[in-house]
Chain A
């Protein structure tokens, strides 16, 4: 049951340049890969509730480009883009990732999917150029997470007032 897997993603820091995300899905690898690489499907899960994905371009081939843009209620847009380096559906996908125009902070994302008995283990390894870049990535994510929490707090407060 998918319900039991809610909140089961684990994030670890296996080395000083890496962030590793792992989670299992009750679905075949081919389907997970499709949901990961099909714009209409990516739009439904990649962004945030408060800032959904408004642009999702995927040219799924080695050397092909990808670009994601999120936009919040204030119109603030955030952009991620990169190039696919390896496309080995449905097992492995390697791409570069740049946040905004921070080309110096380019990271490499390695997606691997391993299917066993209809359950697929997903691993995403984000490899940064240096520990400093990784820490910057995590720190910016933290701000983002904090903002989300503040938004939720706002909603709670509003709900209370009404």
Chain B
């Protein structure tokens, strides 16, 4: 059950640190599995497993060149996560901007 949960949606998929690292790396440009292994120093079986999870929720897409699988980020699938954090951020900004005003008033 726990494993099923990790693949259920984009939110779960990005909750794992290694997967976030992979996404961050891929956001800089597409890469083959070997390049991810090398740059992030994560063992190949783990990288493949994480890529599998990310592919299941469509956060990464893959194309094949000869025998190489090249992965890239599918930014559109990240949008719900992005929106989710930005919404919370907008609320905190409203609140903390008001706090800022209060602090400005309290100071000579």
**Contact surface of A with B, Cβ cutoff 8 Å:** 2, 5-13, 15-16, 19, 21, 23, 25-27, 31-32, 34-36, 41, 44-46, 48-49, 122, 131, 135, 138-139, 141-142, 144-146, 148
Contact = CB atoms under 8 A, between A and B. Distances in A.
A2 B104 contact: yes
A39 to B, nearest CB: 13
A32 B103 contact: yes
A43 to B, nearest CB: 10
Interface residues of B, number: 29
Contact of B103 (A6, A10, A31, A48): A31
B88 A23 contact: no
Given A2-B101, A7-B97, A44-B98, 8 more contacts: A12-B85, A25-B103, A35-B99, A35-B103, A45-B101, A122-B96, A142-B87, A146-B87
A21 B99 CA distance: 14
Interface of B: 11-12, 15-17, 83-104, 106-107
A138 B103 contact: no
Q: Is the interface of A mostly helix, strand, loop or mixed?
A: mixed
Given A32-B103, A35-B102, A9 B96 contact: yes
Contacts of A21: 92, 96
Nearest to A145: B87
B9 to A, nearest CB: 10
B91 A45 contact: no
A2 to B, nearest CB: 5
Given A138-B88, A145-B91, A148-B91, A25 B11 contact: no
A3 B94 CA distance: 13
Contacts of B101: 2, 45
A54 B17 CA distance: 40
Nearest to B17: A15
Looking at B11, B84, B95, B100, the one whose CB has the most chain A CB atoms below 10 A away is B100
